[in-house]
Amino acid sequence: MRIMVQKFGGTSLSTVQAREHVLRHVKRELEAGLSLVIVVSAMGRRGEPYATDTLLDWAAQNGNALSAREKDLLLCCGEIISATTLSSLLEHEGIPTTVLTGAQAGFVTDDNFGNARILDVRPVRVLEQLQLGRVVVVTGFQGQTENGDFTTLGRGEAIRLLQLSVQHYVLKWWISTQM
Residues 53, 50: Cα–Cα separation, whole Å: 8
**Quick check: 41 and 53 in contact, CB under 8 A?**
no
pLDDT tens figures, 134-176 = 999 999 889 999 999 999 987 666 556 566 555 555 555 555 5
**pTM of the predicted structure, to 2 decimals:** 0.90
- Examine the pLDDT at 4 and tell me if it is beyond 70: yes
Residues 165, 124: Cα–Cα separation, whole Å: 9
